Amino acid sequence: MINENLKKKQVQEPTKSELEILQVLWQFGPSTTRFVNDYLNQHTRPVIYMSTLKLMQIMVEKGLLTKDETSSKHIYSAAQEASKTKGILLDTIVDRIFNGSASDLVMQLLGGKKLTPEEKKIFEALIKKIDQE
């Protein structure tokens, strides 16, 4: 457990702006800065191209992105899968806000909300899987 926590802390958590960029790359795959910037402008919020470029360069330095420089256009990719980054961020939330209790998080999420029959089936299957481990 300690080694796992050390590994998680070595991966830097993305800021809100970095997460916006990562979400574009996770959705569309390797992309140019121009594509990411245009997508953010159309779907998220107004951003300046040079700000997006600088942030993506910083993200490469932080290990959040990789950059392919083999062609004239630099292509950026997320350095890790969405599920891994989301897992790290969720673990941080569980640790900081819910004192490490995943069940408290789930109860907070579900509290007062009606689940659809499909959602109930998903949760029941998840609980069965956990019981089998």
Domain ranges in the chain?
2-78, 102-133
In tens digits, what is the pLDDT along the chain, a chain of 133 residues? 444 444 444 567 899 999 999 999 999 999 999 999 999 999 999 999 999 999 999 999 999 999 998 888 899 999 999 999 999 999 999 999 999 998 888 888 888 778 889 988 998 898 888 888 8
* Long-range contacts of residues 51-55, Cβ cutoff 8 Å, at least 24 apart: 52/21, 55/17, 55/18, 55/21
DSSP category for residue 31: B
Q: Are 21 and 55 in contact (CB under 8 A)?
A: yes
pTM of the model as a whole: 0.76
- Whole-angstrom distance, CA of residue 45 vs CA of residue 2: 39
Instruction: Specify the CATH number of the domain 2-78.
Output: 1.10.10.10
